[in-house]
Amino acid sequence: MDLKHATPPSTPPAHGAILQLNGLQFRFETRTLFDRLTLAFDAGITWLRGANGAGKTTLLKLAGGALSPHGGTIHIDTLDSAGQSLAYRLQCFYCGGESPQLPWLTVQEWLDLHLALYPATDVATLNQHLTAFGLLTTLSQAITTLSLGQHKKLQLALALTLPVRVLLIDEPFNGLDTDALAYLRLQLAAPERLRSQCIVLTSHLEPVLPLVRTLQL
Amino acid sequence: MPFWRADNVVGLQQSVLLLTAAAGAILWLWPVFPDALAGAATSAALILLTDRGDKAIREQITVLRPAMAAWPVATRGLEWTARGLGLLPGWLILVLCAVLLAGNGVAHSHKAGALYLAVAAAAQLALVGLPDGGARGRVGLVMISILVLTAIGSELWT
């Protein structure tokens, strides 16, 4: 199915879906990426596949509120990304693969910033994930001193902790060592998480996770 | 913090400009050197302090905007607050100028002193509040501000 021209904008969102994209339009200067794209994501893990440049990361950023669509609507439950943007963003987190932003911060300060942005976050759970990823010793370091893998682990530790309805993870397995991969898979596949959270991840590798859906862009 | 870490020299640059403006104001308005040249130097340091600070804040906002777009915070308010805080160093100097002028109550033109403070505050507000009009517009606004302040300042002791 060609998801870029999926269904007309009048199609109502699926009942019971957590994340709903309805008639989504997005274009770059030189090309249209999504034209009236309608998708619904339920609780559990959806694997978003596609070739480089197909729009996987853009779709995650649109769903995460980091980009604004040129048309259509995005909802998390009943929250509209445009009309209730702050409440919407509080319910989702985009875990990207970009190089460290806020380069002047230490790891602890970067975490504190995000804990302040999402005040309902459980610090004990965060510390558990940081310990599992072997990051506790890096807290006083400048965030720019982390390796690619450590930065990925830091983002994932935060993503796994935040009390959000929608978790959008771009290439979660890139740069991770074997132990971290096993821990991440264990956490993502936790039954409670699968019941309550909508997880959309992109990966060029087979996720080896219990998937509710695979989407090809 | 971003202006003091990760090899960023803006914090140091702002500190030097702040100290230069403060020292200039003290020498000019105490007055140790009550001449137009001291007034010009003080005015230039004062305007450059706000100009350079606002430029650094605007650049920082541009860098942060993609990250902030996904944060559950009202980013527009945050950006204006940051830019507003950029006025503080310059206005601190204006307070110093007002205190120094008040300490020399009979020796200067009160009208010129009040005008100098008002125009300096307005010029700094313009630097921070006006939309980016390009490099030429910015340089023009800075130069005009310094010239006007220098002209008003030259009337202070006459």
Q: What domains are defined for chain A?
A: 3-216 (3.40.50.300)
Closest CA to B42 of B109, B128, B100: B100
Do the domain assignments include residue B83? yes
Do the domain assignments include residue B89? yes
Task: Please judge whether A86 and B69 are an interchain contact, meaning their C-beta atoms are less than 8 angstroms apart.
Answer: no
Task: Give the residue carrying structure tokens 């769903």.
Answer: A63
Number of structural domains in chain B: 1
Interface membership of B60 toward A (CB under 8 Å): no
CB neighbour class for A124 (10 Å; exposed up to 12, middle 13-18, buried from 19): exposed
Chain B contacts in chain A segment 75-134 (CB below 8 A): 86-87, 89-90, 93-94, 101-105, 117-118
Helix A107-117, helix A148-161: angle, nearest 10: 30
Do the domain assignments include residue B1? no
Do the domain assignments include residue B4? no
3-state secondary structure (DSSP) of residue A189: coil
CA B93, CA A202: separation in Å to the nearest integer?
A: 53
Closest CA to A159 of A79, A103, A94: A94
pLDDT, tens digit, for every residue of B79-88? Answer: 999 899 999 9
Task: Please judge whether A104 and B71 are an interchain contact, meaning their C-beta atoms are less than 8 angstroms apart.
Answer: no
Task: Please judge whether A118 and B72 are an interchain contact, meaning their C-beta atoms are less than 8 angstroms apart.
Answer: yes
Residue A209 near residue A197, CB atoms below 8 Å: no
- What is the nearest CA distance from A70 to chain B, expressed in angstroms? 16
Name which of A58, A61, A76, A102 to mutate to probe chain B: the one with the most chain B Cβ atoms within 10 A of its Cβ.
A102
The residue range of the domain holding B74 is 10-154
pLDDT at A174: 87
Residues in chain B, pLDDT under 70: 1-4, 6-7, 34, 105-106, 158
Do the domain assignments include residue B133? yes
Interface membership of B4 toward A (CB under 8 Å): yes
Do the domain assignments include residue B81? yes
pLDDT tens-place values along chain A, 217 residues long: 444 444 433 344 455 799 999 999 999 989 999 999 999 999 999 999 988 888 999 999 999 988 999 999 999 999 999 999 999 999 999 998 666 578 888 999 999 999 999 999 999 999 999 999 999 999 999 888 999 899 999 999 999 999 999 999 999 998 899 999 999 999 999 999 999 999 999 998 889 999 999 999 8
**HSE (side-chain half, CA atoms, 13 Å) at B134:** 2
Pairing of strands A211-216, A44-49: parallel
Name chain B contacts of A101, Cβ cutoff 8 Å.
64, 66-67
pLDDT, tens digit, for every residue of A135-153? Answer: 999 999 988 899 989 999 9
- What is the nearest CA distance from B50 to chain A, expressed in angstroms? 22
Do the domain assignments include residue B2? no
pLDDT at A113: 92
* CA closest to B61 among chain A residues: A102
* CA closest to A85 among chain B residues: B72
ipTM of the complex: 0.79
Please tell me the pTM assigned to this model: 0.80
Name chain B contacts of A103, Cβ cutoff 8 Å.
6
The two structure tokens encoding residue A204: 């060029």
CB neighbour class for A178 (10 Å; exposed up to 12, middle 13-18, buried from 19): exposed
- What is the nearest CA distance from A88 to chain B, expressed in angstroms? 8
Interface membership of B7 toward A (CB under 8 Å): no
Do the domain assignments include residue B47? yes
